[in-house]
Amino acid sequence: MAAGGAAVPVHGTGAARADGTARLRRVGREALRQASAVGISLFGLLAITFFIGRMLPLDPVIAVIGDDAPQSTYDMVYRELGLDRPLWEQFAIYVGKVLQGDFGLALNTSNRVADDLLRVFPATVELATVSIVIGVGLGVPFGVIAAVHRGTMIDHIVRVVGLIGYSAPNFWLGLMGLVVFYAMLGWVGGPGRVSVFYIDMIEPRTGFLLIDSLLANEPDVFWSAVDHIILPASILGYSSTAYIARMTRSFMLEQLSQEYVITARVKGLSRARVVWRHAFPNIMVQLVTVIALAYAFLLEGAVLTETVFAWPGFGRYLTLGLLAGDMNVVLACTLIVGLTFIALNLISDILYRLLDPRTR
Partner 1 sequence: MTAEARTDAPANGGLRAWLLADTVTSTGQARAQKLYLGWRRFSSNPLALIGLGIVVALVMLAVFAPLVATHDPFAQSLDRRLLPPSAAHWLGTDELGRDIWSRIAYGARITLLIVLLVALIAAPLGLLVGTVAGYLGGWVDVALMRLVDVFLSFPGLILALAFVAALGSGLENAILAIALTAWPPIARLARAETLTVRRADYIAAVRLAGASDLRIIVRHIMPICIPSVIIRITLNMAGIILTAAGLGFLGLGAQPPSPEWGAMLSTGRAYMLGSWWLAAMPGIAILIVSLGFNLLGDALRDVLDPRAS
| β-sheet bridge partners, residue 167 | none
Is 189 strand, coil or helix?
Answer: coil
Amino acid at 153: M
Cα 123 to Cα 120: distance, rounded to the nearest angstrom: 6
Q: How deeply is 321 buried, as exposed, middle or buried, from its count of CB atoms within 10 A (0-12, 13-18, 19+)?
A: buried
307 binds partner 1 per the rule CB under 8 A: yes
- Rounded to whole angstroms, how far apart are CA atoms 17 and 39? 32
- Using the minimum distance from each CB to partner 1, give the nearer residue, 5 or 60: 60
Compute the least distance from the CB of residue 219 to partner 1, in Å. 30
Q: Among 63, 161, 230, 322, which residue interacts with partner 1 (rule: CB under 8 A)?
A: 322
Query: Closest distance between partner 1 and the C-beta of residue 7, in Å?
Result: 30
- Residue 158 near partner 1 by CB under 8 A: no
Number of residues near partner 1 (by CB under 8 A): 52
Instruction: Specify the residue, 49 or 234, whose C-beta has the smaller distance to partner 1.
Output: 49
For residue 330, state whether it binds partner 1 (rule: CB under 8 A).
yes
Of 234, 46, 240, 212, which is closest to residue 142 (Cα–Cα)?
Answer: 240
Cα distance between residue 15 and residue 348, in whole Å: 33
Asked if 350 is part of the footprint of partner 1 (rule: CB under 8 A), the reply reads no
One of 163, 215, 284, 310 touching partner 1 (CB under 8 A): 163
Beta carbons of 126 and 210 less than 8 angstroms apart: yes
Question: Is the distance from CB of 279 to CB of 256 less than 8 angstroms?
Answer: yes
Q: What is the nearest approach in angstroms of partner 1 to the Cβ of residue 269?
A: 27
Report the 3 state secondary structure along 96-121.
Answer: HHHHCCCCCECCCCCCEHHHHHHHHH
Q: Does 255 bind partner 1 (CB under 8 A)?
A: no
Nearer to partner 1 (CB atom), residue 98 or residue 209: 98
Q: Which amino acid is at 267?
A: K
Q: Is 341 in the site for partner 1 (CB under 8 A)?
A: yes
Tell me if 60 sits within 8 A of 81, measured CB to CB.
Answer: yes
- Using a 10 angstrom Cβ sphere, with 0-12 exposed, 13-18 middle and 19 or more buried, the burial of residue 7 is exposed
Rounded CA-CA distance 182/187 in Å is: 6
Residue 306 CB, nearest distance to partner 1 (Å)?
12
Which of 1, 2, 6, 52 is in the footprint of partner 1 by CB under 8 A?
52
- Identify the sign of the CA torsion 157, 160, 163, 164: negative
Of 6 and 52, CB closest to partner 1: 52
Question: Which of 201, 328 has the CB closer to partner 1?
Answer: 328
Among 290, 304, 309, 317, binds partner 1 (CB under 8 A): 304
Binding of residue 32 to partner 1 (CB under 8 A): no
- 319 is a contact residue toward partner 1 (CB under 8 A): yes
Q: Residue 245: what residue type?
A: A
Residue closer to partner 1 by CB (options 36, 270) is 36
- CA–CA separation, 134 and 127 (whole Å): 11
Provide the total of helices (H) and of strands (E) in the chain, helices listed first. 15, 0
Range 221-250, binding partner 1 (CB under 8 A): 250
- Find the part of the chain contacting partner 1 (CB under 8 A) among 108-116, 202-210, 267-275, 302-310: 302-310
Q: Interface with partner 1 includes 172 (CB under 8 A)?
A: yes
Which window, 22-30, 64-72, 84-92, 334-342, contacts partner 1 (CB under 8 A)? 334-342
State the residues that interact with partner 1 by CB under 8 A.
37, 40-41, 44-45, 47-49, 52-53, 55-57, 159-160, 163-164, 166-169, 171-172, 175-176, 178-179, 183, 250, 296-297, 299-300, 303-304, 307-308, 318-319, 322-323, 325, 327, 330-331, 333-334, 337-338, 341-342, 345
